[in-house]
Amino acid sequence: MKNIFLKTSCLLILLLSTFSCSVDRDDETSILGTWTETAPVAGRTTLVFGADNRLTRIDGDGNSEVYIYRIEDRTLYLSLASGTEGTSEIFLEQINTNKLKTGNLYPSIPEAEPVFLIFERY
**Of residues 40, 38, 35, 57, the one with CA closest to residue 113:** 40
Question: Cβ neighbours of residue 3 under 8 Å, at least 6 residues apart?
Answer: none
> Does the pTM exceed 0.85?
no
31-32-33-37 Cα dihedral, nearest 10 degrees: 30
**Of residues 66, 70, 77, the one with CA closest to residue 53:** 70
User: Rounded to whole angstroms, what are the CA distances from 64 to 24, 75, 84, 98?
Assistant: 32, 22, 15, 22
* pLDDT tens track for 72-111: 999 999 999 988 888 899 999 999 999 999 999 887 777 7
82 Rama class: left (phi>0) / alpha (psi -120 to 50) / beta: alpha
* pLDDT tens track for 47-82: 999 999 999 999 999 999 999 999 999 999 999 998
